[in-house]
């Protein structure tokens, strides 16, 4: 008995030793930056902004050795929450903070980094190449269960000549705290008083019960669910256009405030942005949804970096300031080489100036 147990113990010690040694070896092998000068920043939040941050960070950290920036895709809600609590230095969000939130946590800056848009996509076999026209009221009715079939008269009315199938619609929404939900529901609220009074908008809302309605997580969750579910409809951030194309989803033409049906492209998004640019207040909390203009695309928004104006140390504050300043600069993060990949629009000069003014407040 004694020999056996010591044998086992020996074997176990050997295994543990090998494990430990391998770990230490791997750690030693890995290229390490100078420990003393390391500044570590954490960016977390919007899944819509995540692809862009992942293009920025490698480029920027290559220019600044000693700086470590970790990116995470967790949803706008988490981005705001962790920026406020200080766990993350930069919170990414498609939604600006609400007044009650700011009252609770004064000193949090909402800094636009770029302009993005959102598409409403659908998966209707046979019609995914032709663009189905949809309006805010129609979408509101779909998402509240009042319109249940694709060939509903309300949809047929705005799509003359299109043979819509007699099939149930499966509306897909985001379950996580999502900036995409925020801008989508703002579109529904601004265009449909009935929705505004009952459901309103937010990063998370109480979706009206629709039997069979699906909740997905993250933008690609939306793409996946829509792609796998015939006759479904979803709202997806524009930075996922490649995945949308790959999944073969259709993109809807949305009715803007002037009544025209438009697709998102630099022209229509730019038109919406310039219509509301002048109205942007110094704290830059403004909705760009349902902008006036004949060719304006109705669902566009500023992508925000939610940052606490008081950072843990001057060194960290400087690092955050430098990074964000680079990000909003047309020769830095706002250059076409980054924005074109995700189909975002650069900030107009006046807005970039406002952003820089806010960035300067970070101490």
Partner 1 sequence: MSVSQLALEFPRLRGRRIRTRIGWVLSIFAFALVALPLADILILVTVRGISAISPQLFLSATNGISGGLLNAIVGTFVLSGGALIIGVPIGVGAGIYLAEFGTGSFGFVVRFLSDVLTGIPSIVLGYFAYITMIIGLGWQFSALAGAITLAMMIVPYMARLTELSLRQVPLSLREAGYALGAPERKVVFRIVLPPAMPGVLTGALLALAISVGETAPLIYTAGWSNYVWNGKLTHEPIGYLTYVIWSFINQPFASAHALAFAAAFLVVLVVLVINVSARLILFARA
Partner 2 sequence: MHTSAFRIGTICLAALIPGMLIAVVLFLALYSWPAINFNGLGFLFRDTWSLGNLYADPVSVHGAQVPIGAQYGILVFIVGTLATSFIALLIAVPVSLGVAIFLAEGAPPRLRPTLSLIVELLAVVPSVVYGLWGVAVLVPLIAHYIAPGLSAVLGFIPFFAGGSPTGFGLLSSSLVLTLMVVPIITATVYSALLQVPRPDKEAAYALGAMKFEVAVRAMLPMVRGSIIGAIILGLGRALGETMAVLMVSGGALNYLPATITSPISTMASFIVSQLDSAEQDPTGMAVRSLAEIALVLFIITVIVNVIARMITKGLHVGLATRA
Residues that bind partner 2 (CB under 8 A): 74-78, 80-81, 98-101, 103-105, 168, 170, 173, 175-178, 200-217, 224-225, 228-232
- 98 forms part of the interface with partner 1 (CB under 8 A): no
Q: Which of 42, 156, 286, 316 binds partner 1 (CB under 8 A)?
A: 42
- 317 forms part of the interface with partner 1 (CB under 8 A): no
Q: Which of 13, 21, 23, 125 binds partner 1 (CB under 8 A)?
A: 23
Q: How far is the CB of 265 from partner 1 (least distance, A)?
A: 19
Q: Which of 240, 304, 323, 344 binds partner 1 (CB under 8 A)?
A: 240
Q: How many residues bind partner 1 (CB under 8 A)?
A: 50
Q: How far apart are CA 175 and CA 179, in angstroms?
A: 11
- 89 forms part of the interface with partner 1 (CB under 8 A): no
Q: Which of 29, 36, 63, 278 binds partner 1 (CB under 8 A)?
A: 29
Which listed option, partner 2, partner 1, none, makes contact with residue 274 (CB within 5 to 8 Å by class)?
none
Q: Kindly tell me which of 136 and 264 has the beta carbon lying closer to partner 2.
A: 136
Q: Which of 73, 159, 185, 284 binds partner 1 (CB under 8 A)?
A: 73
Q: How far is the CB of 204 from partner 2 (least distance, A)?
A: 3
End-to-end CA distance of the chain: 67
Q: Which of 46, 47, 178, 311 binds partner 1 (CB under 8 A)?
A: 47
- 126 forms part of the interface with partner 1 (CB under 8 A): no
Which listed option, partner 2, partner 1, none, makes contact with residue 207 (CB within 5 to 8 Å by class)?
partner 2
- 51 forms part of the interface with partner 1 (CB under 8 A): yes
Q: Kindly tell me which of 21 and 168 has the beta carbon lying closer to partner 2.
A: 168
Q: Which of 13, 17, 20, 353 binds partner 1 (CB under 8 A)?
A: 20
Angle between helices 179-191 and 136-143 (to 10 degrees): 120
Chain positions contacting partner 1, by CB under 8 A: 1-2, 4-5, 7-8, 11-12, 15, 19-20, 22-23, 26-27, 29-32, 35, 38, 40, 42, 47, 50-51, 53-55, 57-58, 68-74, 85, 87, 217-221, 223, 239-240, 242-243
């Amino acid at each position: 008995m004694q020999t056996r147990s010591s044998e086992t113990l020996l074997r176990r010690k050997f295994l543990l030793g090998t494990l430990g040694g391998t770990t230490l070896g791997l750690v030693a092998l890995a290229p390490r930056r100078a420990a003393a000068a390391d500044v570590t920043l954490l960016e977390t939040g919007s899944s819509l902004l995540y692809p862009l941050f992942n293009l920025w960070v490698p480029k920027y950290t290559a220019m600044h050795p000693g700086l470590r920036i970790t990116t995470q895709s967790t949803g706008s809600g988490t981005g705001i929450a962790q920026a406020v609590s200080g766990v993350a230095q930069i919170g990414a969000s498609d939604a600006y903070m609400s007044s009650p939130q700011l009252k609770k946590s004064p000193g949090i800056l909402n800094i636009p980094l770029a302009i993005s848009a959102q598409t409403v996509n659908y998966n209707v076999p046979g019609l995914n190449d032709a663009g189905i026209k949809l309006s805010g009221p129609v979408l509101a009715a779909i998402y509240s269960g009042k319109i249940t079939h694709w060939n509903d008269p309300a949809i047929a009315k705005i799509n003359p000549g299109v043979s819509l199938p007699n099939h149930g619609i499966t509306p897909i929404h985001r379950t996580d705290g999502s900036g995409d939900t925020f801008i989508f529901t703002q579109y529904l609220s601004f265009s449909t008083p009935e929705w505004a009074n009952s459901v309103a908008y937010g990063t998370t809302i109480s979706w009206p019960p629709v039997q069979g309605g699906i909740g997905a997580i993250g933008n690609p969750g939306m793409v996946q669910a829509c792609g796998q579910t015939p006759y479904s409809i979803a709202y997806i951030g524009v930075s996922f256009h490649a995945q949308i194309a790959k999944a073969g989803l259709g993109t809807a033409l949305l009715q803007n405030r002037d009544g025209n049906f438009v697709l998102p492209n630099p022209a229509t998004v730019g038109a919406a942005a310039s219509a509301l640019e002048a109205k942007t207040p110094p704290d830059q909390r403004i909705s760009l949804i349902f902008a006036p203009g004949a060719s304006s695309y109705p669902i566009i928004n500023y992508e925000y970096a939610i940052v606490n104006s008081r950072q843990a140390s001057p060194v960290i504050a400087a690092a955050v300031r430098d990074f964000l300043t680079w990000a909003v600069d047309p020769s830095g993060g706002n250059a076409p080489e980054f924005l074109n990949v995700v189909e975002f629009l650069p900030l107009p000069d006046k807005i970039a100036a406002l952003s820089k003014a806010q960035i300067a407040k970070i101490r």
